[in-house]
Amino acid sequence: MSAPGYDEELGSEREYVAGLYTRLDAERARVQGEYQAALGGKGLGAMERDVGVRALGRESKRLDVVDNGLCFGRMDAISGERSYIGRIGLFDEEHDYRPVLLDWRAPAARAFYTATGANPEDMRRRRQFHTRGRQVLGFTDEVLGRPTEGDQGDAALLAAINAPRGEGMRDIVATIQAEQDEIIRLDHPGVLVIEGGPGTGKTVVALHRVAYLLYTQRERMERHGALVVGPNPAFLSHIGRVLPSLGETDVVFTTTGGFVPGLHVTAEDTPDAARLKGSLKILDVLAAAVADRQRLPEEPLPIELRDVTVRIDAETAEWARQEARDSGQPHNEARAVFTDIVTYVLTERAMGRIGRGWLSRDDKAEWESLRKDLLGELAADEKFTAALDALWPVLTPETLLAQLYESAPADSGLSRARGDAWTVSDVPLLDELVDLLGHDKSAEKAADAALARERKAEAEYAEGVFQTMKLDREEMDEDVMLSAENLLYAEDLADRFVEADTRSLVERATADRDWTYRHVVVDEAQELSEMDWRVLMRRCPGRSFTVVGDLAQRRSEAGARAWDDVLAPYVPGRWVYRSLTVNYRTPAEIMAVAAAVLAEFAPGVRPPESVRACGVPPWSRHVTDGELPAAIEEFVRDEAGREGTSIVIGPPGVPGTVPASETKGLEFDAVLVVEPARILADNAADLYVALTRATQRLGVLHREPLPAALSGLAEAVRT
């Protein structure tokens, strides 16, 4: 295209995209107005109001987050039809809702990602816009059906790959590759495992798959949303913008340390303790700890009632304990069974002693009266309550697990001085104990009774208002009265006293331990223990998962060694495997260094193939103890003057460095690796991770000799 022709075409595209933003702004204003009206809720019941508020709230958020790069491409069909592709769909309401912008997830948009020169899929041209905010800066055209001309579409991909990194992960919605698109749109109802080495885009593909599922299965998923589990808070912060930028906000992000509401644990156990707690064998330990609190009295416990003293002996407690256990209820809920049996035995004994000689078998009313009195005495007796607490106490997961650790033998692997100094490995155990223990029903019953009294008072007040209006009907206009009678029924008016629950799905799900999700994404899944998987399977009864990982990068002793080991117990025959082999992040020069490390500890694993070279060879420098701090400062100072991001990665405890474990899933323009020999000694996978975080520049500082796998760096350019 000639320069004048390009400029004219660019002006036309800018005008079209500006019109799309006008439609977007109008749609925002409409939805926001309806949202505010729904908050008022006139003429609506509490439930109807809440549903409307949440639906409009979701739509409002969806429209608010797609401002940047709303439209990023255009497809031209051989027939001459043009389709613009964007983050969401927009329609022309005046012309039969004709699409003016296709959502990238719509079936009609798929050819934008899959058409090639050899297989154009009835497409003549693919145009990709270069945008900043709402502005179209330019465009790149790829003419399809002419494979001999070269694939100009690579220009957009390479431009995105080479661009400096910002504060968080960017979506790839404009540059999804065909192999990635196939995985994103895969029609599989069970578990999808996506494995790929560093830089293959497996995380961002998984996130786009969630966005695709939320779009294609919105009715099924919107009430429960999706869960994304990542390895650490820094990773979640890094990926947190991707789904909102695609118009999806009904997604909860957490680490395994956040499985239990109210807890956000980051501390880690020793490898041995993590392996022990992560194994399913710990279930027997937890069950035994609960059973140990279901006790029998060593000596009969006397309960002094008004007219008689009765005793809880071991035989009675054992019968009650067995009945409670046989009920199949969690510990705290089974306490009611235990209490009923003990109460029955004590009242029978007391009645026999009190009624002997003055009550005949036929005096049923007297016997029932006596029984009622005795039940009341027992319920109010503090010693009886204390005896129940001693024999079948109400337990909380936190208290029980802390006591277990504090009382464990020193050589058990579970002992620690402060039981509630929680680690990430403790969180699935606490979650397991929620199911083993259940809830304390007494508190729930009290709350339900208080709510019932409140609702009754509200209904009585509403009925009073309604009756007052009926008395005044002669003084009211007939139309006004009919309207009032339609609205002011007692129950309807009572509903208006109930505050609308306007919390978002994310807020409600995060606060509710029993919330279940329609789909779960697990990133760095090779690190999850068997106990972690139990938690996740409880969170997703439908077993719809996207599992992302790389077994070669496993560092946790409790993690997975084979995907079938962790998935077969839950979804036998219902999981499929896909691999990504192209490295879009790490340039060839750096990947060659990382591949040498991979060959040392995982010789059977093939490293991903880089799509580009950066032209900057990685370097190393030997420094003394005194020179190391200054060398790190020099790297930080030099990178501060460049566009993009940088990081210094080193062994735990080295000042000015970040452990490799905290950089998993992240990427930076420049990386400085400090003391690679120490990192390698701790965990070979950590060194592999550290070396593959860079997208442009890699340097290594070492006081000890370089590991053999990095010996090639000794001859590289030194700085």
Q: Give the residue ranges of the annotated binding site for ATP.
A: 196-203
B/e letters for 494-532, b = 16+ CB within 10 Å, e = fewer, are: bbbeeebeeeebeeebbeebebebbbbbbbbbbbbbbbb
DSSP states of 507-533: HHHHH-TT---SEEEETTGGG--HHHH
Q: Which residues are annotated as a binding site?
A: 196-203
Of 50, 44, 38, the closest CA to residue 493 belongs to 44
| Gyration radius from the chain CA atoms | 33
Cα distances from 390 to residues 298, 299, 327, 385, 393, in angstroms, run 11, 13, 20, 9, 6
d(CA 660, CA 208): 26
Q: Where would I find the H helices in 408-499? A: 427-437, 441-471, 478-487, 490-495
Spacing of C-alpha 444 from chain mean position: 28
d(CA 46, CA 30): 23
Of 108, 107, 112, 124, the closest CA to residue 176 belongs to 112
B/e letters for 88-112, b = 16+ CB within 10 Å, e = fewer, are: bbbeeeeeeeeebbbbbbeeebbbb
Of 507, 506, 521, the closest CA to residue 227 belongs to 521
- DSSP code, position 303: E
Token pair, residue 631, equals 């060398």
Beta bridge mates, 579: 195
**Residue 664's CB: how many other CB atoms inside 10 A?**
24
DSSP states of 121-182: TTEEEEEEEEEETTEEEEEEEEETT-GGG--TTHHHHHHHHHSPP-SSPPP-TTT--HHHHH
